[in-house]
Structure 1
């Protein structure tokens, strides 16, 4: 048997709620057990999707940065060109993917600020594209686990 981490964490959460919580005498203790169970469920969900979410987001942000550097040309912040040229994460390990994500998102902030200062319809349309990705990245982080 090779249990998956999400399944183990979900089982732990269920056991905390069904077996441990009824045996806790104080409301404070019950609240702590409930919080631990919720955190287990959240960690299980994030464990299952984190690599995919980061790969998807890194790809999307990298494309936006490349397009933004073309749109702004000489007005593009140096961090954007640097991020576009940076190599992708060396592995699918979460810390590697998160480091890449942090670099790309910092450059996206610089790009967004520069686009906001750029006049014209093309800049407004591109600003909407940036906002669309930011909204989508928030949606990707939405937790659906319920207890």
Structure 2
């Protein structure tokens, strides 16, 4: 499973690097080194995801590229932090469908032009409310 998690880590770094230049490239290089070090250390794997997120923030990529990087980062961390390296237990249908569904919603949300000045203030609250509504059946 380490090989599969390593592949997702490389995909994450590649997606974060596609539209990068300048300082974002340097952060992407640090993310690549952290992915390589992540083979032996889970902490390095987590740092790799944070570095890839910083590279994405510095490069302002398209929403689809950010979605690919985010999905790869999710799979990378889930596989890397799975107990005993058991990917069958880590990548369950709810995990995959949840990541895909929320990624599609995020891309669709980024595709809709927000011309109302109050939308950025309401959007985080709406995300929290939707999240709570989704997890409500699973919380006792």
Question: Which TM-score applies when normalising by structure 2?
Answer: 0.41
Give TM-score, length-normalised by structure 1. 0.40
